[in-house]
Amino acid sequence: MAEGIVLRGAAALVTTAPPGASPAGSVSIMVTAKALAEIDLLIAKRCVDIVLADAAGGGERSYEMVTRPIRLDTLRSDAAVVIRATGIVERTDLGLAVRFEVDDRFKQRPLVFHHDCGNVCLTAESPVATRLLPLSRFRSDQ
């Protein structure tokens, strides 16, 4: 991770599949990371649950996440994206990507990092999934 990169915004990009499906339930998305020794930090979250029925149809929707400014180079490890479903009764397949908007304090410019988390399968028996967000791959020398 390049030094001086400060998180200023984040969004979750969610795609439901297959088109025409209308799953019931909602999903919340959080990004966490470790700082210092073993302190877990919540660095981005979607405050209001994403209602899956509203996202049905196979299209991608963007959901802004709540963030607090944090220097990403102070994090001890890569982040984790935690996806948690509530109220689902049947299998729900999602495509998920995360977009971070950051400021490079040393080069005085904004940057956008996009990471595709891949497909996520959520069921009533397994309503939580975790995907790694490799912050160590983000570079500002582009």
Question: What is the per-residue pLDDT across 63-117, written as a single tens digit (0 to 9) for each?
Answer: 999 998 888 888 888 899 999 998 888 888 888 999 999 998 888 889 899 999 9
Question: What is the per-residue pLDDT across 109-140, written as a single tens digit (0 to 9) for each?
Answer: 898 999 999 999 999 999 999 999 888 776 65
CATH topology of domain 5-136: Lipoxygenase-1 (2.60.60)
pTM greater than the 0.85 cutoff: no
pLDDT confidence of residue 2: 63
Which residue type is seen at 56?
A: A
Cβ(85)–Cβ(92) under 8 Å? yes
Question: What is the per-residue pLDDT across 6-57, written as a single tens digit (0 to 9) for each?
Answer: 999 999 998 876 555 556 678 899 999 888 767 888 889 986 666 665 555 5
Nearest to 70 by CA among 17, 136, 137, 9: 9
Which residue type is seen at 115?
A: H
